[in-house]
Amino acid sequence: MTTFADVRSRLARPQQRRYLPLYATLALLALMYGSGVAQYEAFSDPQVVLNVFIDNGFLLVVAVGMTFVILTGGIDLSVGAVVALTTMVSATLLQEQGWPAFTVLPLVLLIGATLGFGMGCIIHYFEIQPFIVTLAGMFLARGLCYTIGTSSITIDDPFWTRMAQSKVRFGDNFISPSVIIALVVVLVAVYVLAFTRLGRNTYAIGGNPRSAHLMGLPIARTRIAVYTISGFCSALGGVLLSFYMLSGNSLHAVGMELDAIAAVVIGGTLLTGGSGFVLGTVLGVLVLGLIQTLITFDGRLSSWWTKIVIGALLFAFILLQRLITPRKR
């Protein structure tokens, strides 16, 4: 009789273990898209998929930063609050202070990266769990939002408006400039993880921190770098969200940290670290977007069903990770 341990041993072979979550995500994505095409005639329109990217470009950027963190075995709960803080700072400086757009952009990106850098330093040098440090960062960033203002601030800056309304056309279909920015971030992240020393160190630290230390790898520098990258990506995601919403609001991106984690996990990155792909995160974001699209096409289900389905998928992928991850003794 086949036991749970037998299934784990078969799935835990090195060559299979690395790619199995990614294959599962691809199969799920194909199944969902095929189901949509079979049920709804308009679902086969290429613009449907492009709209998923348009509506989730900011989430994709945030999820890319989260991928770096989770690959080291960490977590970042502050990303949604940093996104909201970015929209509020941008809106306030543009609308109330009259700052030019090209001064505001680098400033808000610097704020996000600095917050990430600070949390990374605290996590490493004070040896505090990332969950606690980034939870504190979440409260700090969200609290700063409310000190700036409690109401929505509309953005009518010409550059922001142009970015929000511009379309990059491919025949009858189109994407927004935010999608192009998000895809550039993905390509840069793929290159960094696959071909640079930072990428190799990130995988090594997530795979076995003790071995990485014995090998003399720069653990402090790498760990601080990944949280800085996450903070930068959160701020950039906030900029893209402000393009999408043309407003700043303290309530923006509530729960986005959970969506980003869900996208990364569904995309096949192990929560224990050391294994995963940025392209898997892209697939994870597509899965979340297609769930929302299928529910919209159906028209009979509440939007809360999105959370229910995502929760069920997370349980399934966490179970899959448990099956393929060797038990530590």
For the chain, give the mean pLDDT. 90
Q: What's the pLDDT at 106?
A: 97
Residue 47 is assigned to a structural domain of this protein? yes
Q: What is the pTM of this model?
A: 0.92
Encode pLDDT of 2-18 as tens digits.
455 554 555 445 555 67
Where does 57-216 show beta strands of DSSP type E?
Answer: 153-154, 168-170, 173-175
Total domains present in the chain: 1
Residue 51 is assigned to a structural domain of this protein? yes
pLDDT at residue 306 greater than cutoff 90? no
Q: What's the pLDDT at 210?
A: 85
Rounded Cα–Cα distance for residues 276 and 271 (Å):
9
Range with the poorest average pLDDT among 56-65, 73-82, 298-307: 298-307
As given in the structure block, the two tokens for residue 195 are: 């071909």
Answer whether 104's CB lies under 8 Å from 93's CB: yes
> Mean of the pLDDT values across residues 38-43?
90
Place of tokens 């704020």: 111
Per-residue DSSP letter, 44: G
Question: Residue 69 maps to which CATH number?
Answer: 1.10.3470
Please report which confidence band the pLDDT of residue 302 belongs to, taking 50, 70 and 90 as the band edges.
confident
Residue 292 is assigned to a structural domain of this protein? yes
Residue 85 is assigned to a structural domain of this protein? yes
pLDDT at residue 322 greater than cutoff 60? yes
Residue 91 is assigned to a structural domain of this protein? yes
Rounded Cα–Cα distance for residues 28 and 275 (Å):
20
Range with the poorest average pLDDT among 23-37, 61-75, 121-135, 311-325: 311-325
Which amino acid is it at 279? Answer: L
Residue 189 is assigned to a structural domain of this protein? yes
Query: Between the CA atoms of 241, 245, 246 and 249, what dihedral angle is there, to the nearest 10 degrees?
Result: -80
Residue 6 is assigned to a structural domain of this protein? no
SS3 314: helix
Q: What's the pLDDT at 208?
A: 85
Residue of 322 and 239 predicted with greater confidence? 239
Encode pLDDT of 122-175 as tens digits.
999 999 999 999 999 999 999 999 999 989 999 999 999 999 999 999 888 999
Q: What's the pLDDT at 17?
A: 65
> Mean of the pLDDT values across residues 106-125?
97
pLDDT at residue 197 greater than cutoff 90? yes
Who's near 175: CB < 8 A, 6+ residues apart? 50, 53, 54, 167, 168
Encode pLDDT of 66-95 as tens digits.
999 999 999 999 999 999 999 999 999 999
Domain region containing 51: 17-323
Residue 4 is assigned to a structural domain of this protein? no
